[in-house]
Amino acid sequence: MTFSVSVVIPCHNEEDNIEILYSRLTEVLSAYPRHELLFVDDGSTDHTLQKITRLAENDNHIHYLSLSRNFGHQHALKAGLDHASGDCVISLDADLQHPPALIPLLIDRWQEGYEVVNTLRGAQKSLPLFKRITSALFYKSINRLSSVEINAGMADFRLLDRKVVDALKQFNENYLFLRGLIPWLGFRQTSVAFEPAERNAGTTKYHFTRMLRLGLDGVTSFSSKPLYLSIAVGVVIAAVAFLYGLYAVYVHFFTDNALPGWTSITASVLFIGGLQLIMLGITGIYLGKLFIENKRRPNYIISRKNF
Ligand code: UDP
Ligand code: MG
């Protein structure tokens, strides 16, 4: 066996998962002698980094990067991909929701010639209902609104060929959404299904607001359709307002019930005002992204590493 395997693991406050993850991964990877485990500590405030450095002292398969602060899952993942050395690079979560036992299957598919092996969450019984609903909604809307097709239930658990990792290195977007970027890249892609396990220890780092952020970023980084959407909505509202205006003129000239129209004026002013704010907000998101991207800041800063 001549190829080498990298496993990239973004970790943010995962102190209770590191050791068990390590032992599970080592078990699976013993079949692939040339491997590295690349832990990316994403600004953890607990003992995650200490646990990793302690393991690294006794096992030279372990490499780690520690980011200078919390940069977020996607950027931690990007940092890991940028520094992984393997002929194929597998990324998975630290909380054991992505079963290490699936790794040999991913590698088999890669050896069959696929350059990207994605994983799809199967029947998500073990995930909380709320997460299942928001995730379904998210993928529905992103596929409606953007031109790349993203499979519902696609996880950040995948294998990438060296070629694909090198292609990804060229991307320096601040609003990184790998689940959208990877289908966009092309290459020979396939996917395998898996059953997500319960989170082993600790709590999820994706709360509602964070998921909403990821969703908005996903849509606005891949599509300008929402901008057209605001024009369409504006046109519809303007048409309705015009018809209502005709009706008001009719009431004024041909009936006796032309009352001082306080209610209708207030209602329409508020409605139009609200609508304008939404449209401004959408435009603002894009403008804000331009502003940030334009600075060309690095996506992450490394404070420490052992290789
Ligand atoms: N993560 C990270 N930085 C963050 C948030 C999360 O590196 O700011 C890591 C986290 O340690 C885990 C993975 O990203 O390995 C997925 O996070 P989580 O399990 O909380 O998300 P969920 O599975 O609930 O979607
Ligand atoms: Mg998780």
Is the pLDDT reported for residue 263 higher than 70?
A: no
What pLDDT is stored for residue 258 in this prediction? Answer: 67
Instruction: Output the CA 157–ligand 2 centroid distance in Å.
Output: 11
What is the reported pLDDT for 147? Answer: 67
Q: Which atom of ligand 1 is nearest to the CA of 12?
A: 11
- The radius of gyration computed from the CA coordinates of the chain, to the nearest angstrom, equals 25
Of 15-29, 78-92, 137-151, 166-180, least confident by mean pLDDT is 137-151
C-beta of 95 in contact with ligand 1 (< 6 A) = yes
Question: What span, in angstroms and rounded, lies between the C-alpha atoms of 37 and 180?
Answer: 25
Mean pLDDT, residues 186-206 taken together: 83
What per-residue confidence (pLDDT) applies to 88? Answer: 96
**Whether the predicted pLDDT of 273 surpasses 70:** yes
- Tokens 């529905």 found at: 140
13 pLDDT band, cuts 50/70/90, is very high
Instruction: Name the residue of 12, 47, 131, 210 whose CB sits within 8 Å of the most ligand 1 atoms, as the mutation to test its pocket.
Output: 12
* C-alpha span between 26 and 37 (Å, rounded): 9
Give, in degrees to the nearest 5, the angle at Cα 191 between 122 and 89: 115
Q: What is the mean pLDDT of the chain?
A: 86
Q: Which ligand is nearest to the CA of 128?
A: 1
Q: Is 72 in the pocket of ligand 1 (CB under 6 A)?
A: yes
**Sign (positive or negative) of CA dihedral 165, 166, 167, 171:** positive
Pocket of ligand 1 contains residue 15 by CB under 6 Å: no
Mean pLDDT of 97-121: 93
**Burial state string for 99-123 with b = 16 or more CB within 10 A and e = fewer than 16:** bbebbeebbebbeeebbbbbbebee
Q: What is the CATH number of domain 5-203+297-305?
A: 3.90.550.10
Ligand 1: centre distance to CA 231 (Å)? 36
Q: Whose CA is nearest to atom 13 of ligand 1?
A: 93
Dist. CA 66–CA 72, nearest whole Å: 13
- Least confident window among 82-86, 156-160, 207-211: 207-211
Reference 126, options 226, 55, 65, 195; nearest CA is: 195
Once rounded to an integer, what is the mean pLDDT over residues 94-105? 92
Q: How far is the CA of 214 from the centre of ligand 2 (A)?
A: 15
First to last CA, the chain: 24
Tell me what pLDDT residue 244 has.
80
pLDDT band at 55 (very low <50, low <70, confident <90, very high): very high
Please tell me the distance between residue 199's alpha carbon and the centre of ligand 2 in angstroms.
6
What's the pLDDT band for 210 if we cut at 50, 70, 90?
confident
pLDDT digit string, tens, across residues 142-182: 777 776 677 777 789 999 999 999 999 999 888 888 888 89
Ligand nearest to the Cα of 156, by number: 1
pLDDT of residue 272: 82
Mean pLDDT for 46-52 is: 94
Percent of the chain with pLDDT over 70: 95
The confidence score (pLDDT) of residue 231 equals 79
pLDDT band, very low/low/confident/very high, at 276 (cuts 50, 70, 90): confident
**124 has pLDDT over 70:** no
Taking CA atoms only, the protein residue closest to ligand 1 atom 24 is: 204
pLDDT, tens digit, 9 for 90 and up, residues 135-149: 778 777 777 777 667
| Mean pLDDT value across residues 223-233 | 78
Query: Is the minimum distance from the CB of 205 to ligand 1 under 6 angstroms?
Result: yes
State what percent of residues in the chain have pLDDT above 90: 46
CB of 93 sitting under 6 A from ligand 1: yes
